[in-house]
Amino acid sequence: MERAQDGGSEPRLLRFSVAQNPAPMNEWSPYGKILPKHLHGYFVSKHGQFLLTPLPNGHTLLEGTTWYQHGLWPETYWTLWSQAITHRIHMRVLNHIKQLSEQG
């Protein structure tokens, strides 16, 4: 994990590496846990960051960025889905952070 400062006393950038990605899906099967190898490694998060930017009105802008790769074909089609999934994850995390920060 890397934290960068911009001259102030508080860190404004939090970068991190993704050590492990979740299983792409969990199958229900009467045969126990099934791990189909052909599903793994096609949508992989590599690293991410959160950046805090002070705004003139006293608020703070929080941006989340994720770097990922996918090996799905056709690439153009699956890029749309990859971006949509990543955006949905970002919004869930950012909304959770917003809710926690506004409670106190």
pLDDT tens track for 43-92:
899 999 999 999 999 988 999 999 999 888 898 998 999 899 899 988 99
pLDDT at residue 73, rounded to an integer: 86
More confident residue, 10 or 40: 40
In three-state form (DSSP H/G/I as H, E/B as E, the rest C), the secondary structure along the chain is CEEECCCCCCCCEEEEECCCCCCCCCCCCCCCCCCCHHHCCCEEEEEEEEEEEECCCCCEEEEEEEEEEECCCCHHHHHHHHHHHHHHHHHHHHHHHHHHHHHC
pTM: 0.70
Query: Is-contact 63 50, C-beta < 8 A?
Result: yes
